[in-house]
Amino acid sequence: MRELPERMTQLQAHIRAGQVSAQDALMAQVQRGQGLNAKFPCVVDALPLHASGVGPLAGIALAHKDIFQLDDRLPGCGVGLGHAQASVHAAAAIAALQQAGASQWATLVMAPHACGATSQNTHFARCVNPLDKDAVVGGSSSGSAVAVAAGMSYAALGTDTAGSVRIPAATCGLIGLKTTHGAVSTQGCAPLAPSLDSVGILSRHAQDAREIWAALCPHMARAAATRTARCHLWLPEDGVAPEVAQAIRTWAAQLDAQVTPLDMADTFDSLNRHAQRVLLHETARTHHASLCDGSAEPSVQAIGLMGLGLPLAWYQASMQSRAALLQDFVTRYFHDAEFLILPSLAAPVPDWQTVDVGHPSFDRAALFALHRYMGFVNYLGLPALNLPIARDMRGRAVCVQVLARPFAEHRLLDLAEQVPPVFWTH
Amino acid sequence: MPNASESPPDFIELARHAFASQGYAPSDAVVKAAAKGLARLHMQATPSGMQEAEACFDEMLKRCAHA
């Protein structure tokens, strides 16, 4: 075929209409992806392309974070290539996409063992942000963001334990959907902190993310689309850069919805501490052996050693409080609203050197600004959407994070579809 | 865990004890860094009414979907 359309849903329509064969569509996507990988290196392994299956995603060739088991293949998890392993089955999420007819042509780089809010990784070439070569690519699903933003894959799966889908999506101007905890099985996905780990989707367009979500959770019914309901907006006074806050205020004022400001600073601080405790303890548990024998990656050590020094009782207390705190949060902060809007990043997207640990320009505050508003969402298990809303003075993405009640992913995507695209044309 | 009426715990000692229970022998620098982290993560004890079995969380997610 001559040229691939901008959206995956458009290609699906072409295939359904018989304007292009599924096989030709697959070959065109793989050729484009392989060609762009020279400019935006993010592929770990190119995979043999299997014949397209039957289903809504037949003819769609995707690439995903190298954290998922594939049939007869174990993932490299950001520290090396994947390797063959007989009798290994594809992760549940990968299998669900296969069931819907999708193919996978590549695995994508990630922060080592999913530890890191940026793409920093000494095992692979530095990720380049397709929107701006000087801007950071967030992590840990960094390759997923690069591949989608560069046009190498219409969508990509990632995982999100403390922002690892939303942060790279925010730095690359993409839709990033962190799903409700447990809505998509993490079976066959290398764990980091299982109580927080969620499978997520990165895409350019909300419509494409919805197709992937529908394949991952076909039992999750989509209610009839309605106009945007009430929203609550939290813009912490001293916790977000003025430029970002102003862009969000401007966007919210134009939203076809009633937007009411609220303050949740006290609850946020407490929830963040609970989230940190769980992240630290469970990361230490996952990587206990390599932490104790000194072979753990530096980024794993940064989290895991803290976890080894955390009293077990603190972790247990945070886990035991989780259900009640979720109920309290939903009651207090959603109340009569459907969506809770807050910043994705606390500051404009930084230059990559600024958040590269060990670089002379490294700024710890800039790194913190990437993940400040992420972890508590994983503790609560809520679905969250990164949504690009504007460009900053340098042309980089400004994004909001939209939270919804559990299992309201379709409604988040409804909202995203109402927002005009900032970076990608239709 | 301490409550509001108690003085802050000795975070160095807490960290040392946690490391030991994990079978890890840290350097002094690691202990100090962990203690600093514990000071940031320290909270008053959760009221007993807020505590539920961990197994309830998945159920609470379903309940909150319609709250």
Average pLDDT over residues A19-27: 95
pLDDT at A425: 76
- Asked whether residue B3 is domain-assigned, the answer is no
- Check CB contact under 8 Å for B43 and A313: no
Where would I find the H helices in A59-171?
92-99, 142-150, 166-171
Mean pLDDT, chain A, whole residue set: 95
Q: What is the pLDDT of residues A48-80, one digit of tens each?
A: 988 767 999 999 999 999 999 999 999 999 999
Nearest Cα of chain A lies from the Cα of B16 at a distance, in angstroms, of 7
Closest CA to A116 of A93, A137, A91, A147: A137
Residues of A with CB under 8 A from a CB of B: 180-182, 270, 273-274, 276-277, 280, 284, 288, 291-292, 305-306, 308-314, 317, 319-328, 330-331, 334, 381, 405-408
Contacts of A288 in chain B (CB under 8 A): 22
Instruction: Say whether B26 and A313 touch across the interface (CB within 8 A).
Output: no
CB–CB of A309 and B15 under 8 A? yes
> To the nearest whole angstrom, how far is the Cα of B57 from the nearest Cα of chain A?
5
Contacts of B33 in chain A (CB under 8 A): 305-306
Interface with chain B: mutation pick from A277, A286, A314, A315, highest number of B CBs within 10 Å = A314
Q: How many folded domains does chain B comprise?
A: 1
Contacts of residue A4, defined as CB under 8 A and 6 or more positions apart, other chains included, come to: A11, A25, A28, A29, A32
First to last CA, chain A: 19
Residues 6+ apart with CB under 8 A from A50: A103
pLDDT of A364 > 70? The answer is yes
Residue B4 falls within a domain, yes or no? no
Can you give the pLDDT at residue B2?
Answer: 46
User: Digits of tens for pLDDT over chain B (67 positions)?
Assistant: 444 456 778 999 999 999 999 999 999 999 999 999 999 999 977 555 555 555 599 999 999 998 7
As a whole number of angstroms, the distance between CA A69 and CA A265 comes to: 39
Between the two ends of chain B, the Cα-to-Cα distance in Å is 31
CB–CB contact B54 A322 (8 Å): yes
Percent of chain A clearing pLDDT 90 (strictly above): 92
The verdict on residue B24 lying in a domain is yes
Which of A377, A368, A365 is closest to A404 using CA atoms? A377
CA distances from A265 to A234, A270, A271, A409 (A): 9, 9, 10, 25
- How far is the C-alpha of B15 from the C-alpha of B7, rounded, in Å? 17
| Interface residue B27 vs chain A (CB under 8 A) | no
User: Is residue B2 assigned to a domain?
Assistant: no
- Beta-carbon neighbour count of residue A84 at 10 Å? 9
Cis amide bond preceding A140, omega within 30: yes
Residue A34 makes CB contacts below 8 A (sequence gap 6+) with A43, A46
Task: Identify whether the C-beta of residue A318 lies closer than 8 Å to the C-beta of residue A231.
Answer: no
What was the ipTM of the complex prediction? 0.92
Q: Which of A311, A323, A408 faces B60 most closely, judged by CB atoms?
A: A323
Q: From the centroid of its chain, how far is CA A209?
A: 11
- Write down the pLDDT at residue B1: 45
Please say whether the beta carbons of A412 and A177 come within 8 A.
yes
Residue A130 half-sphere exposure toward CB, CA atoms < 13 A: 27
Tell whether B67 lies on the interface with A, counting CB pairs under 8 A.
yes
CB A107 within 8 A of CB A64: yes
Taken in order A139, A426, A52, A46, is the CA torsion positive or negative? Answer: negative
Give the DSSP per-residue string, A1-35: -----SSHHHHHHHHHTTSS-HHHHHHHHHHHHHH
| Contacts for A382 with CB less than 8 Å, ≥ 6 apart | A180, A181, A326, A403, A404, A405, A406
pLDDT digits (tens, 9 = 90+) for A175-233: 999 999 999 999 999 999 999 999 999 999 999 999 999 999 999 888 776 666 799 99
The reply to whether B11 touches chain A by the CB within 8 Å rule is: no
CB contact under 8 A, A407 and B63: no
pLDDT digits (tens, 9 = 90+) for A303-333: 999 999 999 999 999 999 999 999 999 999 9
Tell me, yes or no, whether B6 lies in a domain. no
Give SS3 for A247: helix
CATH 2.40.110.10 describes domain A8-216: no
Task: Tell me the pTM.
Answer: 0.96
Q: What is the band of A292 on the pLDDT scale with cuts at 50, 70, 90?
A: very high
What residue type is assigned to position A302 of the chain?
A: A
Interface test with B, best of A198, A271, A291, A308 (most B CBs within 10 A): A308
Instruction: Say whether A356 sits in a helix, a strand or coil.
Output: coil
In chain A, residues with a C-beta closer than 8 Å to the C-beta of B67 are 327, 330-331, 334, 405
Residue-range definition of the domain harbouring residue B22: 11-64
Any idea where the domains of chain A sit in the sequence?
8-216, 231-380
Among candidates A275, A273, A283, A282, which has minimal Cα distance to A116?
A283
